[in-house]
Amino acid sequence: MKVNKGARVSQPKYGPGTVTDSDGTHVVIDFDNHGPKRFVAAMVSLAPTTEPAPEKAKTKRRTKKVAAE
């Protein structure tokens, strides 16, 4: 199965995820509950899914501490 970057797929062990990188040999998928994983494209079984991607938590920017005078 050829997958394009940004496609939503499902894998039996890890569940739904988003394809973040794909070349002829490998595919990298950022799974919703397991984080990014890299697979050999010819050996991984993927199915298309219509499940939407979850909202990513926004990170807060750190503020600089000002030295006391």
Q: Is residue 38 assigned to a domain?
A: yes
Q: Is residue 42 assigned to a domain?
A: yes
Task: Provide the Cα torsion 51, 24, 26, 54; round to 10°.
Answer: -20
Q: Is residue 30 assigned to a domain?
A: yes
Q: What residue numbers bound the domain in which 40 lies?
A: 8-48
Q: What is the pLDDT of residue 56?
A: 75
Q: What is the pLDDT of residue 6?
A: 92
The 3-state DSSP class for residue 12 equals coil
Q: Is residue 18 assigned to a domain?
A: yes
Q: Do 16 and 10 form a contact (C-beta atoms < 8 A)?
A: yes
Q: Is residue 36 assigned to a domain?
A: yes
pLDDT tens string for the chain (69 positions)?
Answer: 678 899 999 999 999 999 999 988 999 999 999 999 999 999 999 999 888 888 877 778 888 888 776
Q: Is residue 56 assigned to a domain?
A: no
Tokens of 5: 């970057």
Structurally, the chain folds into a number of domains equal to 1
Q: Is residue 54 assigned to a domain?
A: no
Q: Which helix (H) or strand (E) holds 38?
A: strand 35-40
